[in-house]
Structure 1
């Protein structure tokens, strides 16, 4: 059903749903309706099985190439070569599956938003019914602390306030009523409606269920996340391009080899074997494992910082982002109203430190003149805030709780203070009155404490009480104070009091009986920034990552927070959802221009947030979207990387790639750093593997051009690429973060893995290794050494080249001698292991036969080491020249 329930009169809602306010649905009605509407559950996505996750590991172009190489090797009888390749593929799949399955289990929130019980009237009796059994037409009863189990139209309310921030992004609970509204009212202004997943803060209410499951506003958002396609992770895009490039290169070189070999009269069978050997040398077989290791390491580092990474590629995706679109409430702010400023009628201002619902903080330059304003705020208060075993527990309206926190900071125990006074009469807050008041006995006199909206309190006041002195009230000055605070994004509460008589009234007193109230001052509240967020946003800016705020909150409040963070400078940086609504969709040039310029988007709908993200992507950004409410879910799904807060809704956690369990924005910045580190480490691995592969290809071509036998057998090439080099390239994936990594601009979205510097390094280092190895090969053959022994020496030289080149690959720009070994002690272990396993192979009879190798005398080994060291000299000269440019 898609009706404008908020615009209908209660009688029309009852008639349309064929229900009865006094009796509720009958059992017969319920049984019939369940067949039509189904259960009241949100759409959910099944957790992938281990088998599905395992199968997903093979969906990579590079894996396809490796499988093809393995099949070719099997067809031509090279079973050892094929076995090596398939072992690598299987090891990579198992490692990736283990990581992703563990992350999925950790992130499985399983959408518990509607798994609650609801007080429901069925057959004229009030029963506790599982929320999933609710149906349109059911009459339900809500009270403080309840989760709203379905979309409801209220028919009775009593001081009912509901926190709907998960849908609207607004941090203030809204007071509900039953009056019908105009059809064009947005969700945030539908005061006669309650929406599934929201929370009752105070009061009581009775409502008619009008929508369940998929039909609720929350269900529509959940449906949108299922239907919206996720963008490909940046690493997947880059690796697909890299795999295609490698495929074309291998194919091109193989064709060239075939032409040259055919020209020289080599038999076609031998040409085929040469092509396979060449393909094996060119394909970086160890790369999938290295990528998985690099991302797994980053994932583990993130888990220690309270971040769950659901898919390995998500780490690098966050590192690739050029733009962070953040929710405000609960992400940048603490989602707890806090008193930050007290302004007296005299103009004196008192700042208050601390954030949230606790007594941590103080009133700066505290004065006894504040006693009356703080005491009145405590007396006219229906909330609770207690320190129970070092944990602050609260209930009630957000503003009331914030005022109790103010009492603690002023040195007053609110509960004890209120209990010390005899309460005569409370006037609770009502939306029509816009104030609350309390009459109480204080010694020999009766006092009135009152708080509320200034426009309601000010007409009741005839004078002010500030600094212990009575003064005539300056209405315009007070209104200007309130306007100034509102323009700074504060929520303003006026506090007043009065002394009535020396005797307790015999009848219940009313505000209309009171004259000449004292205006004590204005209290300014705001949902404050998380303490660590400012530094985190500054770090993003240093890293060249743009930050924008997208919120359903008031534009002035959003601007105040954004200015404090350095996201916005003035009102020109803010736009509202109603202003965006003039554009047809996100592809409109005007919409794109606004998104490109503006950094604060206020009062936006979930659909508009999605469109903003789509526009940012179309403008060429890699977008990370953070959020905690169900209203954020479609945008998170559409972004390059979705980041959900751990305290947020299950809908967002279900579709997010990363979940920040401690709700700390700083963790997002840490994720960017870890992602950049992971990608740089992957580049280091690619540099090592491609350079050594390029050297092997050149070595083959040189031998073919000069009419010499191939210097290495296919099994020896696999040994180099998968075993000796395998130990080393994995250790490169464990490199720590480079010191200036968060001071570099983000990579351009269009940038591939290979940039000009890396291409030059691969060509120079590969050519150096190839020339050195070919020169030795040609010399040994010219001296009459048999091919078997010569290949043994060439293989050892290539192992030594790889051992040394690892240190070149630790940085693309810094000298190998300037990269601290403390950043990665594993690299030493990798080099020792790679060299050690090859020495072991030359002495092991089984491996000797497979690899066709034998031990090398020390007198021969040291000249080989000296020749291999020339590679280090060449690359140091290259980096020296690069640094001078």
Structure 2
């Protein structure tokens, strides 16, 4: 490698050569892609049919001189535009966070001298020196290593630091297995070494992820796709009805100006002005509810997307697991002891706290022969150094052993290397009575160094290597990482000599550890499955480790080997076989960032709505491509957080299950609002059309239509956004992504209510005039009838399937408050002179009021009967799809 790059391993490059290479390869930085300017991004937000409908409504309303109502409508457009502009601007932050990962310093050799330069100035061929605590500034081939450990979890998903060496490896070796390479953006946790830079900037593995992240497509959510389709259909229908109204009126000999006014009135009535505000407010309330359950939403539509999720692709390390190595049990020659607690918290104990000298020395060896430390960050314990060594410190604390202080003082060290496979340290005994050698390492290697083993009373006896190997194999088969510990008393004047180690140590025991599953992970996985959501593990970690965790949390059953696929196996699969593979497997291990991205796309190609979780840089492209990306707030990198739609403040997979429940509730409430508001809009338009067809006066005027639409949307409809989640929402399957916004049953209910509104208001309008009421009084009665039916229908829409009595009439205090406000408004528009003048209304008699309320009650009874009949038929119908059911919505893709 040194020869290929024409560099000197001892002297590095010359300054002149470094300058030439920098001119050739460019700076060691990730490029900033060209982006649309702010003006272009601002106008991009209004390219939506729903916004077009709003603009038309605003213009029409303004044409009638209703500046206040027009201002409200235009205000909604401006608000939605600003929100979209801000969210699109945030998308660039993920790329900025990645670019920052390579902004560091680097120690390099040039012309035989050590220089500290900006990482941006590194070039291929530079010899770089690294030590514990350094961030790797480029992709580099190791040429010297001394106990060099690198944390690559953010890049590969590997849960433990990787030992780096300098042997040659086959060219197709995957990134996670390249023991002779250091990769840009990773962190050196122990040891030191030297490496020669082989790739900089966008050519690094980090750069490849950056390019993947930039290319990942941010898909529209199911809600935005359905609303876009709905808006197009609504726009065409409104224009068609308006043209029909104008044409029929002119054909009947009525004036063109009058008919144009009627057509505009129909359009005003048919446009659901409150829908965009309802969408925004309902989702915003969902955001607040999720935040209280430790899920922070970064994009509003993500609330609804969670409710539509059919597949969750979860990272393992830090998501399903604690990302904190934990000693689970300790084996000694005379017994096995379980350890409680998890992670780096000292809470827990060695069960029974037995008086065993072998156990005591096993724990002392693990903690004394140790370079890690424990610290606090944001009130929680973290490891400084190797997580495996940190786990050994924690278990010693759980046994109340004093470490690194008065009990043992280190005087010499034999560091761990991949060839040596063990570490040994020499310590002064606290009473000055000699010294002691402590050692830990791979079981097979340490057993060679041991000539005896320690009994529980502290005596030494001949070693039973077979018993130790059998115990280690049993622990390893359960997915635990096993290390052996040993000790040797030596004289006060003796030093630490490696050649004298074989056959002289005393085996004290084995410590078995792993990164434990999170406490509620298994329950959350089970709840997701009961909700019809497929949960998969997608990780860069080893297949054995991933499979072990998957079995512990219920992702895999016993012996389900066929349900685990590795990155190598995926790479060997033809493209056409990927869909079948993603359906078959539950665990994908040792996968690369590109494969994670392809897996998300494969699920989406099968029609799934995908939620992807992760915390590392390697997860960012998949997080961005997924329908909803979920990042970890505590352990996640800034890159992952910026690429995600939602951030979990507790890093717990169980929080995703809670967020899915809230998402389903938010979509249910939004559907309830649409089902509630559309009959009114449809009926208002049809009343105008009917009046034109029969040549009658308009039963309601455009200004009165605006009063109905704007006041009821705010005072009544938006109260449905506060409706509590219905019981059983997590026991039903997720919505099919191809299912329309409104099912056939809901469309039929909307038509039924529309007919009741049209028939009741028309009859009331005509009867009032026939019995002596003036035209303003008759129109006032019709307006109040519309609102009264909306109030009655509002209580029915609190549940689309269950009766109002089963969920409680007063179960939503916001609805009760909204009805009270709306009732006050109706009294004002009916009896206050200023409102009579503005809206062309007039006070009505108690007789008309009794008709208004009586007809409204009748309408409510019809709606309740229809709901009950449908519920009865649904319960009696056999399971399975009903081909006769019609639906309204975008075609399934």
Per-residue Cα deviation, 1:182-232 (whole angstroms, up to 9, x for no partner) = 212211122222111111111112223332222211111011111122222
Q: CA deviation at 1:46?
A: 9.2
SS in 1 for 2:716: helix
Relative to 1, partners in 2 of residues 1:677 and 1:511: Cα closer, same or farther, differing over 3 Å? Answer: farther
1:460 and 2:449 are equivalent in the alignment = yes
Q: CA deviation at 1:808?
A: 1.7
Does structure 2 conserve the Cα–Cα contact (< 8 Å) formed by 1:344 and 1:520?
A: yes
What 5-or-longer segments of structure 1 have no aligned partner? 1-7
Q: CA deviation at 1:564?
A: 1.4
Per-residue Cα deviation, 1:320-376 (whole angstroms, up to 9, x for no partner) = 111100011111112121111223345x43222222223122122332222121122
Q: CA deviation at 1:634?
A: 1.8
Select 1:372's aligned residue among 343, 361, 368: 361
Q: Distance in 2 between matches of 1:661 and 1:36?
A: 44
Select 1:182's aligned residue among 160, 170, 178: 170
Per-residue Cα deviation, 1:125-144 (whole angstroms, up to 9, x for no partner) = 43443333333333332221
Select 1:141's aligned residue among 121, 125, 129: 129
Does structure 1 conserve the Cα–Cα contact (< 8 Å) formed by 2:776 and 2:842?
A: no
Per-residue Cα deviation, 1:221-252 (whole angstroms, up to 9, x for no partner) = 01111112222211111112222332344355
- The aligned counterpart of 1:488 is 478
Relative to 1, partners in 2 of residues 1:820 and 1:98: Cα closer, same or farther, differing over 3 Å? Answer: farther
TM-score, length-normalised on structure 1?
0.90
1:724 and 2:709 are equivalent in the alignment = no
Select 1:699's aligned residue among 687, 691, 694: 687
Relative to 1, partners in 2 of residues 1:24 and 1:31: Cα closer, same or farther, differing over 3 Å? Answer: closer
SS in 1 for 2:426: strand
SS in 2 for 1:415: coil
SS in 2 for 1:437: strand
- The aligned counterpart of 1:156 is 144
Relative to 1, partners in 2 of residues 1:29 and 1:859: Cα closer, same or farther, differing over 3 Å? Answer: farther
1:522 and 2:510 are equivalent in the alignment = yes
Select 2:573's aligned residue among 574, 579, 583: 583
Select 1:606's aligned residue among 593, 604, 611: 593
The 5-angstrom pairing of residues 246-257 of structure 1 reads 246-254=234-242, 257=245
1:312 and 2:297 are equivalent in the alignment = no
1:774 and 2:762 are equivalent in the alignment = yes
Select 2:439's aligned residue among 433, 444, 450: 450
Q: CA deviation at 1:265?
A: 5.0
Q: Distance in 2 between matches of 1:156 and 1:763?
A: 77
Select 2:3's aligned residue among 11, 18, 21: 11
Per-residue Cα deviation, 1:145-186 (whole angstroms, up to 9, x for no partner) = 121122222232221100001111111111112233221221
Does structure 1 conserve the Cα–Cα contact (< 8 Å) formed by 2:60 and 2:268?
A: no
- The aligned counterpart of 1:84 is 69
- The aligned counterpart of 2:107 is 119
- The aligned counterpart of 2:522 is 534
Does structure 2 conserve the Cα–Cα contact (< 8 Å) formed by 1:498 and 1:516?
A: yes
Deviates more, 1:550-559 or 1:367-376: 367-376
Does structure 2 conserve the Cα–Cα contact (< 8 Å) formed by 1:463 and 1:472?
A: yes
- The aligned counterpart of 1:425 is 412
Select 1:639's aligned residue among 617, 626, 631: 626
Does structure 2 conserve the Cα–Cα contact (< 8 Å) formed by 1:150 and 1:211?
A: yes
Select 1:358's aligned residue among 336, 345, 350: 345
1:545 and 2:533 are equivalent in the alignment = yes
Q: CA deviation at 1:751?
A: 0.7
Does structure 2 conserve the Cα–Cα contact (< 8 Å) formed by 1:100 and 1:312?
A: no
Does structure 1 conserve the Cα–Cα contact (< 8 Å) formed by 2:425 and 2:496?
A: no
Does structure 1 conserve the Cα–Cα contact (< 8 Å) formed by 2:810 and 2:816?
A: no
Q: Distance in 2 between matches of 1:883 and 1:863?
A: 30
1:798 and 2:794 are equivalent in the alignment = no
1:657 and 2:642 are equivalent in the alignment = no
1:402 and 2:391 are equivalent in the alignment = yes
Q: CA deviation at 1:404?
A: 0.6
- The aligned counterpart of 2:273 is 285
**Alignment size in residue pairs:** 862
The 5-angstrom pairing of residues 623-772 of structure 1 reads 623-646=610-633, 647-704=635-692, 706-772=694-760
Per-residue Cα deviation, 1:437-493 (whole angstroms, up to 9, x for no partner) = 223354645433221111212223344434447665444443333233222221111
Does structure 1 conserve the Cα–Cα contact (< 8 Å) formed by 2:209 and 2:621?
A: yes
Relative to 1, partners in 2 of residues 1:726 and 1:92: Cα closer, same or farther, differing over 3 Å? Answer: farther
Q: Distance in 1 between matches of 2:377 and 2:41?
A: 45
Relative to 1, partners in 2 of residues 1:394 and 1:656: Cα closer, same or farther, differing over 3 Å? Answer: closer
The 5-angstrom pairing of residues 762-841 of structure 1 reads 762-820=750-808, 824-841=812-829
Q: Distance in 1 between matches of 2:777 and 2:170?
A: 91
Q: Distance in 2 between matches of 1:260 and 1:160?
A: 85
Q: CA deviation at 1:819?
A: 3.1
Per-residue Cα deviation, 1:828-867 (whole angstroms, up to 9, x for no partner) = 2322333333433445555433421133345543442232
Relative to 1, partners in 2 of residues 1:485 and 1:43: Cα closer, same or farther, differing over 3 Å? Answer: farther
Per-residue Cα deviation, 1:692-719 (whole angstroms, up to 9, x for no partner) = 1222234334445554332112222122
Q: CA deviation at 1:553?
A: 0.9
Does structure 2 conserve the Cα–Cα contact (< 8 Å) formed by 1:25 and 1:137?
A: no
Does structure 1 conserve the Cα–Cα contact (< 8 Å) formed by 2:91 and 2:643?
A: no
SS in 1 for 2:197: strand
- The aligned counterpart of 2:885 is none
TM-score, length-normalised on structure 2?
0.90
Relative to 1, partners in 2 of residues 1:538 and 1:389: Cα closer, same or farther, differing over 3 Å? Answer: closer
Relative to 1, partners in 2 of residues 1:47 and 1:259: Cα closer, same or farther, differing over 3 Å? Answer: closer
1:300 and 2:315 are equivalent in the alignment = no
Q: Distance in 2 between matches of 1:380 and 1:299?
A: 49
Per-residue Cα deviation, 1:66-124 (whole angstroms, up to 9, x for no partner) = 323445667xxx33368735631422432663597499779957413223333344565
Does structure 2 conserve the Cα–Cα contact (< 8 Å) formed by 1:448 and 1:498?
A: yes
Relative to 1, partners in 2 of residues 1:402 and 1:513: Cα closer, same or farther, differing over 3 Å? Answer: closer
Q: CA deviation at 1:562?
A: 0.9
Deviates more, 1:280-289 or 1:867-876: 867-876
Relative to 1, partners in 2 of residues 1:754 and 1:272: Cα closer, same or farther, differing over 3 Å? Answer: same
1:199 and 2:187 are equivalent in the alignment = yes
What 5-or-longer segments of structure 2 have no aligned partner? 876-893
Per-residue Cα deviation, 1:384-403 (whole angstroms, up to 9, x for no partner) = 23579975354222211110
SS in 2 for 1:118: strand
Deviates more, 1:486-495 or 1:285-294: 486-495
| Pairwise CA RMSD | 3.0
